[in-house]
């Protein structure tokens, strides 16, 4: 679902009276504490809040850099440099620092250690291009979001945010209409269930998006279409203010759907939605089923990758007890192939597509290979699909030229998106 939707999550909602706050509530509370400390000039309090955020977000790169800023404001150059090195270890870069426009680290500028960090940032921004163009999407106005594959017709189904529809696309890029949003909202997630001749999708009237009626803002729904005809079979409305943006199907063809705004993970059953977990996630994105069908890996845009037990509802976090120093935040799409995850990350700096190999316990990342980053073709990558020996993914989606209302930014123009592919075997 991506970074524009995640921005809604970090608004400061009221904290409920329950004894154990959800991750969304805890995150908001810590943000309040950090802001209050910063305004009051309480540098120690600001650092303490930043460290708590880092723990909550499972050492996400952005949280690590925030602690570097807090250390620098306290004059603790040693810990500030150490945190920036951790940030660089994860393959990240900060363009503001590279441009010398930062205010937080002015006291570090003449240190050899800081100049070394900037050089590491430059290296982390070098282009990697290991994929190839599969086809271009002719319609520049789509803002393509999700993609899946129909093995019967050997065509792709792709959702459109701005044009509020699903299109069918051949391997050469020729497109035709499949279905439209029944409510006139952006269409986001899509999953094909060829065995049962169904297509599951979601429509979301994102808060503040001018292309959806203001009266509908904060509503979303799960849709089921006939795979052959595109006829709507069913529509299931979500709880108000949920944004059901991403989805996976179980082996039985049951949708597991994530709410990127309020942190909920739902299961479609008995014609409705059952909440599986509403505690642990801040902005869950595209889930993926793990072998055996009992666990689902869910990338949280802020916290990293959580492994949800479908029976108990319990969550453990990838790399929580070790593993390689890798960025697990900012993941929009997550896919599992041969003991490894493939991630499309449009919330990292730089944005990238990467494969991460897991250990035998599937609890830690042991190595990573970047598939694409910092290229002219990547833009904002969104979602992908594994087909045989290939991973296909949407690149240059166009999200980066839209503002927070879904309108075109001044001086920008929409360009046709692309579908890239990478051979995984």
Query: For every residue of the chain, which 3-state class applies, written as one string?
Result: CCHHHHHHHCCCCCCCCCCCCCHHHHHHHHHHHHHHHHHHCCHHHHHHHHHHHHHHCCCCHHHHHHHHHHHHHCCCHHHHHHHHHHHHHCCCCCHHHHCCCCCCCHHHCCCHHHHHHHHHHHHHCCCEECCEEEEECCCCCCCEEEEEEECCCCEEEEEECCCCEEEEECCCCCEEEEEECCCCCCEEEEEEEHHHCEEEEEEEECCCCCCCCHHHCCEEEEEEEECCCCCEEEEEECCCCCCEEEEEECCCCCEEEEECCCCCEEEEECCEEEEEECCCCCCECCCEECCCCCEEEEEECCCEEEEEECCCCCEEECCCCCCCCCCCCCEEEEEEECCEEEEEECCCCCCEEEEEEECCCCCCEEEEEEEEECCCCCCCCCCEEEECCEEEEEECCCHHHECCCCCECCCCCCCCCEEEEEECC
CATH 2.120.10.30 for domain 128-423, yes or no, is: yes
Block residue for tokens 């979301």: 204
Q: What string of pLDDT tens digits covers the 425 residues of the chain?
A: 565 555 444 443 333 444 689 999 999 999 999 999 999 999 999 999 999 999 999 999 999 999 999 999 999 999 999 999 999 999 999 999 999 999 999 999 999 999 999 999 999 999 999 999 999 999 999 999 999 999 999 999 999 999 999 999 999 999 999 999 999 999 999 999 999 999 999 999 999 999 999 999 999 999 999 999 999 999 999 999 999 999 999 999 999 999 999 999 999 999 999 999 999 999 999 999 999 999 999 999 999 999 999 999 999 999 988 899 999 999 999 999 999 999 999 999 999 999 999 999 999 999 999 999 999 999 999 999 999 999 999 999 999 999 999 999 999 999 999 999 999 99
What's the longest Cα–Cα distance across the chain? 65
Rg (C-alpha) for the chain, rounded Å, is 21
Measure the CA–CA gap between 347 and 90, rounded to whole angstroms: 13
Measure the CA–CA gap between 51 and 146, rounded to whole angstroms: 35
Measure the CA–CA gap between 196 and 234, rounded to whole angstroms: 14
Contact indicator for 341, 307 with CB cutoff of 8 Å: no
Edge-to-edge order in the sheet of strand 132-136: 132-136, 418-423, 390-395, 384-387
- Identify the pLDDT of residue 2: 64
Contact indicator for 213, 205 with CB cutoff of 8 Å: yes
Of 362, 364, 363, 365, which is closest to residue 354 (Cα–Cα)? 365
Domain ranges of the chain: 3-124, 128-423
Indicate if 128-423 has the same CATH topology as 3-124: no
* Tokens read off for 297: 């890996």
Class of domain 3-124: mainly alpha
Edge-to-edge order in the sheet of strand 315-317: 288-289, 295-300, 304-309, 315-317
Measure the CA–CA gap between 387 and 393, rounded to whole angstroms: 11
Angle at 24 between CA 219 and CA 320, to 5 degrees: 125
Phi, psi of 77 (to 5 degrees): -65, -35
- Identify the pLDDT of residue 7: 45
Q: Residue 229 has what DSSP assignment?
A: T
Helix 43-56 vs helix 61-73: crossing angle, to nearest 10: 170
* Tokens read off for 405: 């209302």
Angle at 8 between CA 125 and CA 381, to 5 degrees: 35
- Identify the pLDDT of residue 338: 96
Contact indicator for 68, 108 with CB cutoff of 8 Å: no
Angle at 102 between CA 100 and CA 104, to 5 degrees: 135
């Amino acid at each position: 679902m991506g970074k524009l939707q995640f921005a809604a999550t970090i608004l400061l909602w009221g904290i409920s009276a329950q004894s154990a706050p959800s991750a969304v509530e805890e995150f908001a509370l810590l943000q309040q504490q950090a802001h209050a400390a910063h305004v009051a000039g309480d540098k120690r309090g600001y650092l303490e809040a930043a460290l708590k955020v880092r723990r909550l977000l499972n050492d996400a790169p952005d949280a690590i850099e925030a602690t570097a800023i807090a250390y620098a404001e306290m004059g603790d150059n040693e810990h500030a440099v150490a945190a920036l090195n951790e940030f660089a270890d994860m393959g990240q870069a900060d363009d503001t620092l590279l441009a010398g426009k930062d205010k937080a680290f002015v006291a570090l500028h003449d240190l050899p250690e800081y100049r070394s960090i900037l050089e590491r940032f430059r290296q982390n921004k070098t282009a990697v291009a290991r994929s190839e163009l599969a086809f271009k999407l002719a319609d520049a106005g789509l803002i393509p979001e999700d993609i899946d594959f129909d093995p019967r017709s050997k065509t792709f189904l792709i959702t459109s945010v701005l044009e509020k529809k699903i299109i069918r696309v051949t391997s050469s890029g020729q497109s035709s209409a499949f279905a439209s949003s029944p409510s006139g909202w952006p269409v986001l997630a899509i999953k094909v269930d060829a065995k049962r001749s169904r297509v599951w999708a979601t429509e979301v009237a994102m808060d503040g998006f001018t292309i959806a009626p203001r009266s509908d803002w904060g509503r979303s729904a799960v849709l089921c279409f006939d795979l052959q005809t595109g006829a709507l079979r069913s529509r299931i409305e979500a709880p108000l203010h949920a944004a059901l943006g991403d989805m996976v199907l179980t082996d039985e063809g049951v949708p597991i759907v994530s709410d990127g705004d309020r942190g909920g993970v739902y299961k479609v059953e008995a014609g409705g939605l059952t909440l599986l977990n509403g505690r642990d996630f801040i902005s869950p994105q595209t889930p993926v089923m793990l072998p055996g069908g009992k666990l689902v890996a869910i990338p949280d845009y802020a916290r990293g990758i959580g492994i949800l037990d479908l029976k108990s509802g319990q969550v453990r976090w990838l790399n929580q007890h070790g593993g390689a120093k890798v960025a697990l935040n900012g993941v929009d799409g997550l896919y599992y192939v041969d003991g490894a995850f493939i991630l499309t990350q449009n919330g990292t700096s730089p944005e990238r597509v990467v494969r991460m190999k897991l250990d035998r316990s599937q609890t830690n990342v042991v190595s990573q290979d970047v598939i694409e980053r910092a290229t002219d073709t990547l833009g904002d990558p969104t979602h992908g699909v594994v087909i045989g020996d290939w991973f296909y993914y949407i690149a240059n989606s166009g999200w980066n030229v839209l503002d927070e209302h879904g309108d075109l930014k001044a001086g920008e123009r929409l360009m046709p998106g692309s579908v890239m592919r990478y051979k995984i075997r």
